[in-house]
Structure 1
Amino acid sequence: MEVMGFKLIAILGFVGYAIYWLYGMLDLYWFRPKKLEKCLREQGLKGNPYRLLRGDLYESAKLLREAHSKPIQLGDNIVKRTMPEVYNSVQSHGKNSFMWIGRFPKITVTDPTLAKDALVRHATFHKSFHDLDPLIHILFGGMGAVEGEEWAKYRKITNPAFTLEKLKSMLPLFQSSCIDAVNKWTSVIPEGGAAEVDVWPGVESISATSISTSLFGIGGEEGKKIVGLLKELANHTWEKVNSVYFPGKRFLPTKSNLRMRALDRELRVKITDIINRKLKAMQAGESGGADFVGLLLESNLNEIKLQGNQKSAGLSIEDIYAVCKLFYWAGQDTSSTLVLWTLVLLSKHTEWQDRAREEVLQVFGDKMPDYDGINHLKIVSMILNEVLRLYPPLAELSKVASEDTLLGKYLIPAGVQVMMPQILLHYDPELWGDDVLEFKPERFSEGIMKATKIQGAYFPFSFGPRMCIGNNFALYSIKMAIAIILRTLSSELSPSYVHAPIRRVTVQPQYGAHLILRRLKNHN
């Protein structure tokens, strides 16, 4: 009887736990999302009804496949191709609407004032990584994922590597990379003739080599290998962002999961080896070098000394690895896409290409572009600002409310995501005028502040305290690349050019970029 009683208690205990677990799952994946949906609808926000687990991901994936199946015309609104799910949601439910990312609603904010407010309030609106596969932290870990005091420590230690003086010392490394790439292009162009070239691989090579030398002080081939690994990792990460995650999915031995871990292991070996070599040199009394890693390690050691040699005050080797990996990928991807779309647009709008070239030759003459002269390239700056409006490196920024908070008139419950799609704001005729689709660099002739009707409508490198720390480096290096290319080559669109921007974290060309290149006389 005692045994029977024990078994009954055990069975009842198991049944009770099963009911408790089942209710917890129902609460997590049904009751809470429905409660959040009710809260948003009561405030006038519209969106699709919540669907268990998948949310809107299935429909979003279908819209992406349809959008990517056919190219568009250069000058069309690229939002329909790069973010068709967001475009469709806004058209169906209004500018301030919501979508479902798994079990969490994501509010689309197209009011520049609200977007600016959310980006400034970084203590309330955090990075939106919840309900996503934890494997994305392989790429976005470290400084890209932390908040509060931890983020402040990262920022304090990395800041010294991005002062203007440090930037000035790194630009010559970028200059030599640009010259090498341009020489490769000119080598296939016959004397007095022209050649069709897919410039996308060359532009990626410029960025890969320059980022490798300026960040790590390493040679081209080793750097290109790291960039290749990071590019593959970014593609896998993008797939994870756009898929439904359920607990334990990251542990499944899928091809993608295994490959991401393998990429992390290989990158860890390569990057930590560079870090350790520099640390060893510094311990021997040598300089860590003028590259980013050397400057970062020097800043880290200074911070540790400043705090009484408490290692907790600085970054660990693992932290530095994560920072280097993130900066390596972000710097290379951002630079390459901005240079690429600038070349494409100048190849179509050759009058602006001529004006930019005239300015470059006027500022530098027969000399190679340098730091001081870059500051005087007003027309090139206007062009880059307009390219960033039409082709921002990141199409949107998302944050998650860490607590119940007001954003304008809306109560944002804790856990709800807020998406600021800068690409949608950059294409809004109410903010830019009826000529919003046109390439018009003159919009920025009086600077960014006067280019749009409402401040906060333009933020290609984010906004507020968490604005991209490397944006000055990116813009200076890209201006140098454009200046070197313009003084050497002229370009126009090839008849075989296919305009097909696609979102792979950054906005990239799906089928490359085929241009007709010609060598300019007396500028070899």
Structure 2
Amino acid sequence: MMNNFGVFSDLQILILVSILWCGVISIIFKFCKKNMWVKSEIQRRKLRSYGINGPSPSYFLGNVPEMQRIQSMVAKTSSHDEIVGHDYTCILFPYFEQWRNQYGRMYTYSTGNRQHLYVNDPELVREMSQSMTLHLGKPTYVTKALAPMLGNGILRSNGTLWAQQRKIIAAQFFMDKVKSMMGLMKESAQEMLGKWEACIEAQGGSIAEVRVDEDLRATSGDMISRACFGTSYSKGKMVFLKLRTLQKLLSQQNFLFKVPTIRFLNTKVQKEVNSLEKEIESLIWEAVQERVQECSKRCSSEKDLMQWILEGAMDDPDLDKGSSKQLIVDNCKNIYFAGHESTAVAASWCLMLLALHPEWQHNIRDEVNQFCGVNNDDRHLLVPDVETLLKMKSVTMVIQETLRLYPPAAFISREALEEFQMGDIVVPKGVCIWTLIPTLHRDQEIWGPDANEFKPQRFANGVSNACKVPQAYLPFGLGARLCLGKNFAMVQLKLLLCNIVYRFSFTLSPNYRHLPAYRMIVEPKHGVHILIKRI
């Protein structure tokens, strides 16, 4: 009701206040947006002063509409037939390829008001990767998106926290430590091979179709669980399954190049992500507490990775009890994910390529017969030690060539947390730097005209002689952020391939569909189906 003085009712006042607040918020948003645009424009001008150009951005969305348009055009024109083509960058990241052809190996673009610098010059990539400054870190907006998956562990932390965590974890993956893990790796591999033998028997005793990527995930998970956490894959199976689900959910959100938005409400996907994050952390903390109890009951000079993380976190005077717990859980998540997912995917691509090139199966098998023994009771392959694996050139070349064509990590990504000198360029604070690894791995100026072909022999004399610029080979990164698990992964891959090739010959199944997909790492979207036959 209105009185004589024209006073509004409570409902009308509420509506007026809401309208006023919307206006105020709109003004604030436009002001902030203008300031962000000005900041981004200043960054662009500084980069362009060095002759670095790129596509012109729109005011609000930057180059995102153009990226979406290019991706849509590729989706309409691409045909996925039975021919296996290894150059997938033009399908997964077509905008990068188009802009590289237009602007060269270095250009600038934006998503919203975030400014990015694309760098595929090998010398600059080397300099950036080997820089020890803490002013260069992982892009904060990407690490924020990946927080449910990786917490604030070593894969996404920056600055002194990253340096502290690296100091705790790095030593546990030195080659002398990896040597002591060989026995556990062999046990895990034999379980998978036994399963494949059973598949052959169940499908008639001659030949069987196997989807190897899922089995390799389980086996790789078992290896990392036994070697680093003193437990088995079956015990930590729920952690792996939930991490895998979380990985797929985060990948759906296009966390790399989406436009910054304000989230007023949790979406259904976000609620599921939050729920999975809590469940994974709870499961890991239960495993940690069990491990603490086990360690208190026995005295041993041999410590596994989990014990080192526990001691490193608990002994740090700068961490309170809650922070120590979070550091432990976050790094366990990092190792659970990175320690098994990347290796399993790399092994899957290896088997796909070996199925296409049986001559390399023969080469590996010949070396296995030369260097390894056999248990006559069960025909299991006996790989004596890591030194023996290192002598096997064929399997090493196959792995190196697979990681060149299908590096699990597609990007090297950094953010200038402070102004940063790279070559003759001063990169402004806040600019994100991206290198597309598979593009660098296929550069014909570096690798020759056969850069898109599977030719392991290019690595016959090592990486330094495989291409014109050795630092252009980056499957494990380079410099300070070099993958800590490189030694573990290479020994694991060699052991798996030697055992598989010794026991089975295989070809691609007619059911195999070649379609690489980007889900935080580049993996076969529809799995890898092969037909296996006992040797």
TM-score (normalizing by structure 2): 0.86
Which of 326, 333, 346 is 1:338 aligned to?
A: 346
Partner of 1:21: 28
Greater displacement, 271-280 / 209-218? 209-218
Matching residue of 1:348: 356
Rounded Cα–Cα distance in structure 2 between residues aligned with 1:315 and 1:361: 51
| Match in the other structure for 2:328 | 320
What is the CA-CA distance between 1:457 and the residue it aligns to? 0.7
For 1:117, give the aligned amino acid.
E
SS of residue in 2 equivalent to 1:143: coil
How many angstroms does 1:299 deviate by?
Answer: 5.2
Where in structure 2 are the equivalents of 1:123-522 lying within 5 Å? Answer: 123=133, 126-132=136-142, 134-140=144-150, 141-190=152-201, 193-240=206-253, 241-242=255-256, 244-246=258-260, 248-249=262-263, 252-287=265-300, 291-298=304-311, 304=315, 316-366=324-374, 367-372=381-386, 373-520=388-535
Tell me the SS of whatever aligns to 1:218: coil
Counterparts in 2 of 1:65 and 1:322: CA distance versus 1, 3 Å: farther
1:122 touches 1:466 (CA, 8 Å); kept in 2? no
Letter in 2 for 1:222: K
1:71 aligns with 2:63: no
Q: Distance in 2 between matches of 1:424 and 1:446?
A: 23
Following superposition, the deviation at residue 269 of structure 1 comes to 1.0
| CA-based RMSD | 2.9
Helix, strand or coil at the partner of 2:418: coil
Q: Which amino acid aligns with 1:486?
A: V
Selected match of 1:31 from 34, 38, 53: 38
1:95 is the counterpart of 2:102: no
The answer to whether the Cα contact below 8 Å between 1:490 and 1:517 also exists between their aligned partners in 2 is yes
Residue 113 (1) aligns with residue 113 (2): no
Percent of paired sites with the same residue: 28
- 14-23 or 155-164: which moved more? 14-23
Post-superposition Cα deviations, 1:111-169, rounded to whole Å, max 9, x if no partner, equal 10000111111416533433458342122322223223222211111123223332222
Q: Taking structure 1 as reference, are residues 300 and 162 closer, same or farther at Cα in structure 2, changes over 3 Å only?
A: farther
Q: Tell me the distance in 1 between the aligned counterparts of 2:389 and 2:304.
A: 20
**1:346 and 1:15 mapped to 2: Cα distance?**
61
In 2, are the aligned partners of 1:386 and 1:440 still within 8 Å (CA)? yes
* Residue of structure 1 in register with 2:90 after alignment: 80
Report which stretch shifted further, 399-408 or 453-462: 399-408
Matched residue type, 2:390: N
**1:44: how far off?**
2.2
Among 26, 48, 53, the residue aligned to 1:46: 53
Preserved contact between residue 37 and residue 50 of structure 1 (Cα < 8 Å) = no
Would you say the 8 A contact 1:197–1:515 is kept in 2?
yes
Which structure 2 segments of 5+ residues have no match?
1-20, 375-380
Q: In 2 relative to 1, CA 19–227 (structure 1 residues): closer, same or farther, beyond 3 Å? A: closer
TM-score computed with the length of structure 1 as normaliser: 0.88
Secondary structure in 1 matching 2:533:
strand
Q: Distance in 2 between matches of 1:67 and 1:202?
A: 33
Cα distance in 1 for partners of 2:283, 2:29 equals 45
CA offsets 1:224-279 (integer angstroms, 9 cap, x no match): 32111111212222334146354542x62211211111111111111111111222
- 3-state SS, counterpart of residue 236 of structure 2: helix
Q: Residue 165 of structure 1 aligns to which amino acid in structure 2?
A: D
CA change 1:97–1:274 in 2 (3 A) is same
1:502, distance to aligned residue in structure 2 (A): 1.2
Q: 2:117 is aligned with what amino acid? A: I
| CA shift in 2, pair 1:134/1:427, >3 Å | same
Q: Given that residues 346 and 353 in structure 1 are in contact (C-alpha distance below 8 angstroms), is that contact kept between their aligned partners in structure 2? A: yes
Say whether the 8 Å CA contact 1:160–1:299 is kept in structure 2: no
User: What is the letter of the counterpart of residue 185 of structure 1?
Assistant: W
Greater Cα offset, 440-449 or 162-171: 162-171
Letter of the 1:349 counterpart: H
Amino acid at match of 1:328: Y
* Aligned-pair CA distance for 1:463: 0.5
Query: Could you say what secondary structure the match of 1:100 adopts?
Result: strand
For residue 169 of structure 1, what is the amino acid of its counterpart? Answer: S
Whole-Å separation in 1 of the counterparts to 2:451 and 2:458:
10
Kindly indicate whether the alpha-carbon contact (under 8 Å) linking 1:55 and 1:102 is maintained by their aligned counterparts in 2: yes
* Cα pair 1:213 1:291 within 8 Å, conserved: no
Per-residue CA deviations over 1:58-87 (Å, capped at 9, x if unaligned) read 443454466567436324412112322211
Aligned partners of 2:138 and 2:158 also within 8 Å:
no
Which whole-Å deviations, capped at 9, do the CAs of 1:91-122 have from their partners, x for residues lacking one? 23322112323312221111100001111114
1:194 and 1:19 mapped to 2: Cα distance?
66
2:6 equivalent in structure 1: none
